[in-house]
């Protein structure tokens, strides 16, 4: 097969591993910077022009689209789909996953456990917002934040009011979530491919930090999921219509609660923690569908 990985950096761990896995299984693979693609749109003849050539005869693509370039990256994925290529991440699902508010609504509709969440249109009634999530401490998240950036823990009512007033003044969209104390600064990343859990790790925040993201200095170890946790991860990926997904959840006294469903999950942390060849499983997923 002719495969294209949409990535802006060939040296990234995830990109290199996907290239290795594809070549090992005797596929032709090319890494393309999606921001350098020109989209040719005309009746019955969509094309993509890249570095002096038209990209033709592409069987499948693996989008590795950064959050900051979602708009153009999704347009490139959509163009490949119009040209008949299979995508590991559907363009509509990619857009849906990048909208944190919409994602929470989709998951809520699917009756999946979530931390209690409040979103308002720059409400001045901050006291009410705080009380709706059970008071402080609470979590405040920028809708556009990634990798733990733009996430604030407000431990007191005054701190919560100050942060919310500051974000409102900047007209920055945020969601407010209840703080799950019993999680003790840990969360679980579950890798789901084609409706099956292929790996899971527990991420623990470093001392003095509540964010467990590996980019924020957290550590990871392999974990055996409970049946309830496995079902929740699969349901979340299905609700978001993602064939490949990184589902983040926390353990609470009322069961697993989904924090986020990531459409471009990194491979480094999960592969090193679990020893599972996730890249190979993604290539096998493509082979099954093409």
Strands 244-252 and 186-193: antiparallel
CATH number of 2-96: 3.40.50.20
Domain 182-289 fold is D-amino Acid Aminotransferase; Chain A, domain 1 (3.30.470)
Q: Half-sphere exposure (CA, 13 Å, Cβ side) for 262? A: 22
Strands 47-50 and 37-40: antiparallel
Domain 117-179 fold is Dna Ligase; domain 1 (3.30.1490)
Q: Where are the domains of the chain?
A: 2-96, 117-179, 182-289
**Radius of gyration for the chain, computed over Cα atoms and rounded to the nearest angstrom:** 20
Tell me, what's the pLDDT at 212? Answer: 52
**Each residue's pLDDT expressed in tens, for the chain with a length of 290 residues:** 999 999 999 999 999 999 999 999 999 999 999 999 999 999 889 999 999 999 999 999 999 999 889 999 999 999 999 999 999 999 999 999 998 889 999 999 999 999 999 998 777 788 888 999 999 999 998 877 565 567 888 999 999 989 988 888 888 888 899 999 888 889 999 999 999 999 999 998 766 555 555 555 578 899 999 999 999 999 999 999 999 999 999 999 999 999 999 999 999 999 999 999 999 999 999 999 99
- Could you give phi then psi for residue 246, rounded to 5 degrees? -110, 110
Tell me, what's the pLDDT at 270? Answer: 94
Beta bridge partners of 204: 186, 219
Largest CA distance in the chain: 60
C-alpha–C-alpha distance, residues 262 and 280, integer Å: 19
Against a cut of 0.85, is the pTM above it? Answer: yes
Question: pLDDT tens digits for 152-211?
Answer: 889 999 999 899 888 888 888 888 999 998 888 899 999 999 999 999 999 987 665 555
């Amino acid at each position: 097969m002719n495969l294209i990985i949409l990535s802006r950096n060939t040296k990234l761990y995830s990109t290199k591993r996907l290239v290795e896995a594809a070549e090992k299984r005797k596929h032709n693979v090319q890494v393309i910077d999606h921001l350098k693609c020109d989209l040719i749109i005309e009746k019955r003849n969509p094309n993509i022009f890249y570095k002096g050539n038209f990209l033709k005869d592409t069987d499948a693509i693996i989008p590795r689209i950064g959050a900051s370039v979602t708009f153009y990256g999704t347009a490139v994925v959509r163009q490949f789909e119009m040209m008949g290529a299979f995508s590991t991440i559907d363009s509509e699902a990619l857009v849906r996953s990048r909208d944190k508010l919409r994602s929470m609504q989709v998951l809520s509709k699917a009756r999946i456990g979530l931390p209690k969440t409040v979103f308002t249109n720059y409400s001045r009634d901050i006291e009410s917002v705080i009380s709706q999530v059970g008071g402080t401490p609470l979590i405040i998240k920028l809708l556009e934040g990634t990798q733990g950036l733009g996430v604030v823990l407000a431990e007191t009512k005054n701190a919560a009011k100050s942060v919310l007033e500051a974000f409102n003044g900047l007209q920055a969209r945020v969601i407010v979530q209840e703080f799950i104390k019993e999680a003790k600064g840990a969360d679980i990343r579950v890798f789901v491919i084609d409706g099956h859990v292929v790996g899971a790790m527990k991420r623990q925040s470093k001392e003095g930090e509540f964010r467990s993201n590996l980019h924020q200095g957290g550590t990871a170890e392999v974990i055996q999921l409970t049946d309830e946790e496995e079902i929740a991860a699969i349901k979340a990926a299905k609700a978001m219509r993602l064939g490949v997904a990184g589902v983040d959840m926390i353990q609470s006294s009322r069961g697993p609660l989904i924090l986020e469903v990531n459409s471009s999950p990194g491979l480094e942390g999960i592969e090193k923690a679990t020893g599972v060849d996730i890249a190979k499983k993604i290539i096998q997923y493509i082979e099954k569908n093409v």
